């Protein structure tokens, strides 16, 4: 419970005092009678008006919720006798929240004041493994909580809540709970929870638990189930890989297998390093791209190894009937693992040279580190001398280009779905740029690298050309241009400069494609000769005709203000000057809040390429 000691006081028995008692005393019944978890309102006339909010975790029993709020209100009136504002997030069985103030706070994200407590016990197991599991778990939790499911009944508020458990070792679990007040936008909830997790990390990494409370959000984790909310969670999302370093895991790989895998990977890494060194000497390169095949990656991915025979059986010996498609590395097959999990298996073509082998390895090591619902999930790999396979989660609705650019299928992608796809891709890229522990530049974002799951959620794939750049570094140079024309920012296509802003550019092109339902590479408007999609959209925008861009098959289903906002955002992303382009976190704020004023877009940049949507594997800037 925090009384706002710096924000003012009132005298006892004044109108403000009685208004506060009145609104707080009816809070418990208002919360439980509405939709059972949230109520906010104000009472009285200015300047004695009191604004109040009450909240319980969604799904809480009405009685528990009411008890929690009543107790919080009683303690608040006792402990904050004359403070004009206060908030409390109490709970032993059920979490609830009560807040009041003398000015409106509805809809605003308030991070201060905050209160941090931690469990003084230390983590007694391998810290780096613990952090790997804990960090991934927190990212997943923040994502789930801030996704903000819409209230089921009359309330249109989001339910920003997540309670989950993950395995740490075969006998230890991590319990975590997060909640935001439902008046926030998903972006603000995300930012608030992130601030809470960061606050805990800065203070108390290595401790056995902690709780951070702010007016707008709550975060707690511990090694025991601290609230009744965990009773109904069996395992939640599939547990992460248990620690392998305890030595108590009966399913862990044999020492021989681990040594074999590590040795194979080290040989490949050495080959790559030698090749890089050779290229370095030959070309006298003055700069280097950051290589992400470090020893760290190897040690953290060994537990993902699959046995070739298992994968071979899962795909019915890579039968034609299981073939899903052909990519840059080779064929992709559908498979079913012995436990019933559907998978997609990427099989490196046997005729591949060193380049594709390196890309394949890079993709494996990189994607193994990622965990986000808008990034395709790697389940494992098999790196035998004769066979190199990556096993991904199976994403059933094919790639976005397959649905979006087919005149017979594109009608199924109505505007709501397209908007959801745009938001999901943005969240996936944000994760790559800023939320994972690495800064990842994808460098090949395009419609065919977006897969759609059963609910048409997008999942980013195609990481073979991705690069990790050092934290704090914003720009990288390369002479080897990889990616796909049409989606490439002009500074990258012409000067080899890539940064998070080159991905932002590709995202802008993708958004325009999603709105118009046509490939940028096939774009030839008869009335605007020589035009490309970016300039076509820009000209329509300048002439005040943005809605002419919209795919006729979604025109009826679309919310025109939402579409115009998306076109506006896309045009901000494809601006010529990378500095003018927004970051993905700004893009997400722009997508989620109608109240943010969008800047006026400047002239877009584009790179003219005569051949169509050419996928570049290796184009050396010097040789052209």
Ligand X SMILES: Nc1ncnc2c1ncn2[C@@H]1O[C@H](COP(=O)(O)OP(=O)(O)OP(=O)(O)O)[C@@H](O)[C@H]1O
For every residue of 63-95, DSSP letters joined together read HHHHHHHHHHHHHHHHHSTTBS-EEE---SSS-
Residues 299, 329 contacting (CB under 8 angstroms): no
User: What is the SS3 assignment for 531?
Assistant: coil
Helices 560-573 and 584-592 meet at what angle, rounded to 10? 170
Piece of 193-201, 326-334, 487-495, 603-611 that binds ligand X (CB under 6 A)? 326-334
Residues 603, 586 contacting (CB under 8 angstroms): no
Residues 362, 293 contacting (CB under 8 angstroms): yes
Q: How far is the CB of 392 from ligand X (least distance, A)?
A: 4
Pairing of strands 439-441, 467-469: antiparallel
User: Pattern 120-149, binding to ligand X, x per CB under 6 A?
Assistant: ------------------------------
CB of 100 or CB of 392, closer to ligand X = 392
CA dist 173 and 133 (Å) reads 11
**Sign, Cα dihedral of 478, 485, 620, 327:** positive
Does residue 228 belong to the site contacting ligand X (CB under 6 A)?
no
CA dist 318 and 326 (Å) reads 13
User: What is the SS3 assignment for 12?
Assistant: coil
Q: How far is the CB of 484 from ligand X (least distance, A)?
A: 8
Q: How far is the CB of 511 from ligand X (least distance, A)?
A: 19
Q: How far is the CB of 446 from ligand X (least distance, A)?
A: 8
CB of 111 or CB of 616, closer to ligand X = 616
Q: How far is the CB of 364 from ligand X (least distance, A)?
A: 13
CA dist 335 and 345 (Å) reads 7
**What is the four-CA torsion angle of 524, 525, 526, 528, rounded to 10 degrees?**
-110
CB of 356 or CB of 517, closer to ligand X = 356
Q: How many CA atoms lie within 13 A of 126 on its CB side?
A: 13
CB of 305 or CB of 484, closer to ligand X = 484
User: Pattern 403-442, binding to ligand X, x per CB under 6 A?
Assistant: ----------------------------------------
Which position among 169, 358, 436, 449 is part of the footprint of ligand X (CB under 6 A)? 449
Does residue 329 belong to the site contacting ligand X (CB under 6 A)?
yes
Residue, CB closest to ligand X: 327
Q: How far is the CB of 457 from ligand X (least distance, A)?
A: 13
Does residue 335 belong to the site contacting ligand X (CB under 6 A)?
no
The one-character DSSP state at 123 is P
CA dist 572 and 566 (Å) reads 10
CB of 72 or CB of 378, closer to ligand X = 378
CB of 38 or CB of 392, closer to ligand X = 392
Which position among 238, 325, 552, 599 is part of the footprint of ligand X (CB under 6 A)? 325
CA dist 259 and 224 (Å) reads 35
Q: How far is the CB of 343 from ligand X (least distance, A)?
A: 8
Does residue 616 belong to the site contacting ligand X (CB under 6 A)?
no
Strand partners, 499: 475
User: What is the SS3 assignment for 242?
Assistant: coil
CB of 393 or CB of 525, closer to ligand X = 393
Residues 133, 174 contacting (CB under 8 angstroms): yes
Residues 6+ away with beta carbon under 8 Å from 16: 10, 44, 48, 50, 84, 102
Which position among 260, 328, 411, 496 is part of the footprint of ligand X (CB under 6 A)? 328
Which position among 169, 399, 436, 502 is part of the footprint of ligand X (CB under 6 A)? 399
Query: Is 346 labeled as ligand-binding?
Result: yes
User: What is the SS3 assignment for 211?
Assistant: strand
Q: How far is the CB of 139 from ligand X (least distance, A)?
A: 20
Q: Could you say which residues in the range 586-615 bind ligand X, by CB under 6 A? A: 615
CA dist 581 and 210 (Å) reads 38
Which position among 66, 188, 196, 448 is part of the footprint of ligand X (CB under 6 A)? 448
Piece of 236-244, 445-453, 469-477, 596-604 that binds ligand X (CB under 6 A)? 445-453
CB of 236 or CB of 330, closer to ligand X = 330
CB of 178 or CB of 390, closer to ligand X = 390
Q: How far is the CB of 540 from ligand X (least distance, A)?
A: 30
Strand partners, 469: 439
Piece of 82-90, 247-255, 460-468, 488-496 that binds ligand X (CB under 6 A)? 460-468
Q: What is the CB neighbour count within 10 angstroms for residue 245? A: 15
* Tokens representing residue 590 in the block: 């722009």
Q: What is the CB neighbour count within 10 angstroms for residue 581? A: 27
Piece of 38-46, 79-87, 319-327, 604-612 that binds ligand X (CB under 6 A)? 319-327
CA dist 351 and 348 (Å) reads 8
Does residue 344 belong to the site contacting ligand X (CB under 6 A)?
yes
Pairing of strands 96-101, 50-56: antiparallel
Does residue 324 belong to the site contacting ligand X (CB under 6 A)?
yes
Q: How many CA atoms lie within 13 A of 197 on its CB side?
A: 23
Q: Could you say which residues in the range 461-520 bind ligand X, by CB under 6 A? A: 461-462, 464
**What is the four-CA torsion angle of 243, 249, 254, 258, rounded to 10 degrees?**
0
Does residue 276 belong to the site contacting ligand X (CB under 6 A)?
no
Q: How far is the CB of 328 from ligand X (least distance, A)?
A: 3
Measure Cα distances from 469 to 187, 359, 368, 463, 567 in Å. 25, 16, 17, 14, 30
Q: How far is the CB of 351 from ligand X (least distance, A)?
A: 15
Piece of 56-64, 237-245, 447-455, 530-538 that binds ligand X (CB under 6 A)? 447-455
Q: Could you say which residues in the range 359-398 bind ligand X, by CB under 6 A? A: 376, 392, 394-395, 398
CB of 214 or CB of 446, closer to ligand X = 446
Q: How far is the CB of 455 from ligand X (least distance, A)?
A: 14
Q: Residues comprising the binding site for ATP? A: 346
Q: Which residues sit at the interface with ligand X, rule CB under 6 A?
A: 324-329, 332, 344, 346, 376, 392, 394-395, 398-399, 448-449, 451, 461-462, 464, 615
- Binding-site residues sit at 346
């Amino acid at each position: 419970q925090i009384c706002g000691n710096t924000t003012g006081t009132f005298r006892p028995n004044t109108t403000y005092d009685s208004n506060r008692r009145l609104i707080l005393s009816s809070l418990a019944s208002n919360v439980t009678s509405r939709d059972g978890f949230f109520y906010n309102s104000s009472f009285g006339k200015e300047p004695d008006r009191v604004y109040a909010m009450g909240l319980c975790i969604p799904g809480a029993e009405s009685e528990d919720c009411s008890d929690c709020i009543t107790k919080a209100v009683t303690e608040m009136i006792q402990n904050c006798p004359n403070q004009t504002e206060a908030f409390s997030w109490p709970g032993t069985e059920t979490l609830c929240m009560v807040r009041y103030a003398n000015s409106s706070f509805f809809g605003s994200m308030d991070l201060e004041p905050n209160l941090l407590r931690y469990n003084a016990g230390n983590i007694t197991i391998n810290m780096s493994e613990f952090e790997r599991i804990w960090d991934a778990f927190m990212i997943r939790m923040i994502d789930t909580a801030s996704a903000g499911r819409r209230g089921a009944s009359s309330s249109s508020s989001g339910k920003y809540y997540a309670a989950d458990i993950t395995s740490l070792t075969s006998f230890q679990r991590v319990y975590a709970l997060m909640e935001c007040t439902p008046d926030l936008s998903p972006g603000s909830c995300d930012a608030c929870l992130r601030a809470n997790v960061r606050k805990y990390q800065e203070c108390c990494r290595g401790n056995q638990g902690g709780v951070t409370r702010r007016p707008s959000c709550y975060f707690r984790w511990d090694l025991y189930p601290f609230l009744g909310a965990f009773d109904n969670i069996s395992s939640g999302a599939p547990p992460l890989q248990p620690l392998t370093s305890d030595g108590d895991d009966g399913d862990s790989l044999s020492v021989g297998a681990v040594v074999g895998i590590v040795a194979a990977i080290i040989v490949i890494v050495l080959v790559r390093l030698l090749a890089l060194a050779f290229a370095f000497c030959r070309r006298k390169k003055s700069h280097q791209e950051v290589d992400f095949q470090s020893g760290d990656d190897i040690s953290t991915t060994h537990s993902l190894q699959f046995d070739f025979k298992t994968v071979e059986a899962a795909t019915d010996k890579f039968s034609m009937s299981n073939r899903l498609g052909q990519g840059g590395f080779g064929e992709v097959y559908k498979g079913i693992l012995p436990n019933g999990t559907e998978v997609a298996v990427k099989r490196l073509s046997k005729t591949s040279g060193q380049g594709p082998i390196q890309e394949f390895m890079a993709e494996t090591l990189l994607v193994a580190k990622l965990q986000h619902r808008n990034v395709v999930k790697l389940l494992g790999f098999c790196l035998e001398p004769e066979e190199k396979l990556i096993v991904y989660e199976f994403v059933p609705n094919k790639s976005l280009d397959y649905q979006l650019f087919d005149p017979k299928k594109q009608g199924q992608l109505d505007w709501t779905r397209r908007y959801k796809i745009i938001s999901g891709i943005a969240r996936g890229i944000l994760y790559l740029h800023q939320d994972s522990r690495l800064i990842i530049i994808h460098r090949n974002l395009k419609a065919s690298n977006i897969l759609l799951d059963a609910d048409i959620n997008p999942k980013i794939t195609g990481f073979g050309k991705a690069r990790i750049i050092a934290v704090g570094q914003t720009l990288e140079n390369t002479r080897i241009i990889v990616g796909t024309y049409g989606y490439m920012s002009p500074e990258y296509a012409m000067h080899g400069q890539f940064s998070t802003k080159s991905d932002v550019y590709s995202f802008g092109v993708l958004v325009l494609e999603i709105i118009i339902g046509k490939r940028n590479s096939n774009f030839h408007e008869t009335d605007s000769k020589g035009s490309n999609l970016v300039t076509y959209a820009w000209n329509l925008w300048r002439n005040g005709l943005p809605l002419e861009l919209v795919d006729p098959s979604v025109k009826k289903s679309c919310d025109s203000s939402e579409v115009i906002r998306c076109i506006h955002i896309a045009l901000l992303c494809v601006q010529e000057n990378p500095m003018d382009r927004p970051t993905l976190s700004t893009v997400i704020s722009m997508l989620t809040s109608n109240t943010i004023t969008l800047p006026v877009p400047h002239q877009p940049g584009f790179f003219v390429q005569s051949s169509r949507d050419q996928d570049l594997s290796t184009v050396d800037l010097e040789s052209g």
